[in-house]
Chains A and B, each alone.
Chain A
Amino acid sequence: MEPILNIQQISKNYGRIVAVQDLSVNVGAGHVFGILGPNGSGKTTTLSIITGVISPDNGTYQWYGKSASSSIRKKIGSLIEVPNFYPYLDLFRNLTVVARIKGKPVGDIERVLKLTNLWERRKSRFDTLSLGMKQRLALSAVLLGDPEVLVLDEPANGLDPEGIAEVREIIKGEAEKQKTIILASHILDEVEKVCTHVAVLKKGRSIAQGRVHELLAADDPVVVECNETEKLKSSLIRAGISASIEKDGNQLVIILKSGYEARDVNEFAHQQGIVLTHLETRKKSLESQFLELVKQ
């Protein structure tokens, strides 16, 4: 299937500073694609390139298999860095300007302002809004005209916990409508909760890419508890199911070889006549894995 966005080997330098280096990414239809990385890892530069505001030094990218153009950008809702609006115009007029540019009906403004709880404030000047409200207005502008593709750069920036939860609900809602979403974030929790795919950036390079659950669950340990830990340990090693086993009190922390999962351990123990009193797959937190990845 034709990818929605195809980035090939893009690079961008700012003087001697490498912002993005040989980055290649494929985003398929309906993916919620997270771009994860610490500050300064090239997330915003990448998104600025694919939304046409800066041009890459090297490499190309295509939306819907075509090279970039302003008419394709009209179909994409993008929020890059900070919200940019006219401070002296009210919210409704600001969104009118956006609607005209995108060629979307002005009638849709009411829907998106209600979605972000700003409808009551539609007659307020933009510069009277709080930071969180500005961010929500930017999200309204992104959703205007119900675009198929959303590009969001740190959408939860500047929001209080309630606002973050609201934004997350909105993004999830859009994802459920089979929208393609590209989401840059340094917050792992955000990526883990909403994304299907992820690319981890470090100093402008992609150091890992894949489905969120595969990439981040590959080495999840299985923890078992039983009375005969030593016996289970040695037979697991002999059977070649485990990659490594550590004994921790009366628990075994088992890293499985690929192709095996927790139920295989249970079945194996049963065959050996060992009764497990506890069996769990311990999800390593994304946080610790992210730090592991970035540290390398």
Chain B
Amino acid sequence: MPMKSIILNEYTKIWSYRAFRVIILLHFILFFLVVLVTSRLDITIPGFSTDYLYQFPNIWEFFPWVASWFNLLLAILIIVMTGNEYTFRTFRQHVIDGLSRSDLLTGKGFLIITIAVYSMLMVLLFSLLFGFIFTRDLTAALFLKKTYILLVYFVQAVAYMSTGFLLAILFRNTALAIVLFILYRLIIEPVFRLFFPQGARLYFPMKVISNLTPMPEFLSISSGNQADAGNADALNLREMGLLAEDLPVYLNLVLAIGYTSLFIFLAWLLLRRRNM
């Protein structure tokens, strides 16, 4: 099966699909509105100005963090597109027509990467737009510092979507996969983590993935939690995801890529073993 046909087919499937267009549009507009509105906020705390977040290089930290709130939409998108293949029984038909099961995986893998690229480009576009407006005394060094976070964001988007993809393959049902994704992300794993010691909690998949784009340090300092980061309150804030935690970025990145590969591998096993 030539790669080109698989890719063209994925495009054909999303291009005419209204739900897909609506979700992408929502994603784009919501992100834009949030960063626009936040930039207009006039917060009068001494020494704090939101402008700071919109300047290079801080914007490379701030925008991916904001964008990470909307990764749920991207995961839902993948769940819907994969769930459709089961609802319409088109995965089954594709196999009958001559796709191998790994071709099915390739198609959806390609879709995940395409959506992650779109989302990364969206963050890049708005970062450039707002960054150039808000930054005075711009130097190349200042501009380039922390741009790598954009790639980290890309990995995060891929990781979330792979999680959604695995759930869709597992349940073969769109609604169930979406509900399970949200429950697992917001309740099941966070509660489960509480049974583990502080250090171990950082290694759970959702924690690893969400920590890829932590809240900008500047914001957490301003929220006034930096002074006694060791005390119980701060720990709770951390558990709630309000305070950045401390696995080194590279380790977090390696773990996230590891989890993503694992999820895709499990999805492949399920695809291969099961009847269509």
Write the nearest CB–CB distance from A142 to chain B, whole angstroms.
9
The residue in chain B whose Cβ has the minimal distance to the Cβ of A48 is B275
Interface set, chain A 86-107, CB cutoff 8 A to B: 86-90, 93, 96-98, 100-103
Residues of chain B within 8 A (CB-CB) of A48 are 275
Q: When chains A and B are docked, how far (Å) is the Cα of A84 from the Cα of B92?
A: 8
The answer to whether A71 has its CB under 8 Å from any CB of chain B is yes
Residues of chain A within 8 A (CB-CB) of B98 are 70-76, 101-103
The answer to whether B88 has its CB under 8 Å from any CB of chain A is yes
Task: Evaluate contact between B96 and A51: CB separation under 8 angstroms.
Answer: yes
Q: When chains A and B are docked, how far (Å) is the Cα of A32 from the Cα of B176?
A: 44
Task: Evaluate contact between A70 and B88: CB separation under 8 angstroms.
Answer: no
Residues of chain B within 8 A (CB-CB) of A102 are 97-98
Write the nearest CB–CB distance from A89 to chain B, whole angstroms.
6
Q: Which of A52, A85, A87, A90 has the largest count of B CB atoms less than 10 A from its CB? A: A52
Contact string against A for B residues 80-121, beta-carbon threshold 8 Å, 1 for contact and 0 otherwise: 000010001110111111111001000000000000000000
The residue in chain B whose Cβ has the minimal distance to the Cβ of A69 is B100
Q: When chains A and B are docked, how far (Å) is the Cα of A54 from the Cα of B95?
A: 10
The answer to whether A201 has its CB under 8 Å from any CB of chain B is no
Given contacts A87-B88, A103-B2, A97 and B13 within 8 Å (CB-CB): yes
The answer to whether B16 has its CB under 8 Å from any CB of chain A is yes
Interface set, chain A 50-94, CB cutoff 8 A to B: 51-55, 69-76, 78, 80, 82, 84-90, 93
Given contacts A89-B12, A97-B9, A53 and B275 within 8 Å (CB-CB): yes
Number of interface residues of A (CB under 8 A): 33
Residues of chain B within 8 A (CB-CB) of A103 are 1-2, 5, 98
Task: Evaluate contact between A52 and B90: CB separation under 8 angstroms.
Answer: no
A-B pairs with beta carbons under 8 A, tally: 78
Q: When chains A and B are docked, how far (Å) is the Cα of A106 from the Cα of B21?
A: 26
Given contacts A53-B276, A88-B16, A88-B17, A100 and B5 within 8 Å (CB-CB): yes
Taking residues whose C-beta sits less than 8 angstroms from the other chain, chain B's interface range is 20 to 34
Task: Evaluate contact between B100 and A70: CB separation under 8 angstroms.
Answer: yes
Residues of chain B within 8 A (CB-CB) of A88 are 16-18
The answer to whether B8 has its CB under 8 Å from any CB of chain A is yes
- Picked from B1, B5, B18, B275, the residue with its CB within 8 Å of the CB of A70 is B1
Task: Evaluate contact between A78 and B16: CB separation under 8 angstroms.
Answer: no
Q: When chains A and B are docked, how far (Å) is the Cα of A71 from the Cα of B100?
A: 8
Task: Evaluate contact between A54 and B18: CB separation under 8 angstroms.
Answer: no
Write the nearest CB–CB distance from A54 to chain B, whole angstroms.
4
Residues of chain B within 8 A (CB-CB) of A78 are 96-97
Residues of chain B within 8 A (CB-CB) of A96 are 12
The residue in chain B whose Cβ has the minimal distance to the Cβ of A144 is B97
Task: Evaluate contact between A100 and B8: CB separation under 8 angstroms.
Answer: yes
The residue in chain A whose Cβ has the minimal distance to the Cβ of B100 is A70
Write the nearest CB–CB distance from B5 to chain A, whole angstroms.
4
Q: When chains A and B are docked, how far (Å) is the Cα of A48 from the Cα of B95?
A: 10
Q: When chains A and B are docked, how far (Å) is the Cα of A75 from the Cα of B96?
A: 11
Task: Evaluate contact between B9 and A101: CB separation under 8 angstroms.
Answer: yes
Interface set, chain B 170-187, CB cutoff 8 A to A: none
Instruction: Name 17 interchain pairs, CB-CB below 8 A, sorted by A.
Output: A48-B275, A52-B95, A53-B96, A54-B276, A70-B99, A70-B100, A71-B98, A73-B98, A84-B88, A86-B84, A88-B17, A89-B13, A90-B16, A96-B12, A100-B8, A101-B98, A103-B1
User: Which residues of A approach B to under 8 Å, CB–CB?
Assistant: 48, 51-55, 69-76, 78, 80, 82, 84-90, 93, 96-98, 100-103, 141
8 smallest beta-carbon distances between A and B, as pairs: A74-B98, A84-B93, A100-B5, A54-B275, A70-B100, A73-B98, A84-B89, A53-B276
Q: Using A53-B276, A82-B89 as known contacts, list a sample of 17 further A-B pairs with CB atoms less than 8 Å apart, ordered by residue number in A.
A: A51-B95, A70-B98, A72-B98, A73-B95, A73-B97, A78-B97, A84-B88, A85-B88, A85-B93, A88-B16, A88-B17, A88-B18, A89-B16, A97-B13, A101-B9, A101-B94, A101-B97
User: Which residues of B approach A to under 8 Å, CB–CB?
Assistant: 1-2, 5, 8-9, 12-13, 16-18, 84, 88-90, 92-100, 103, 275-276
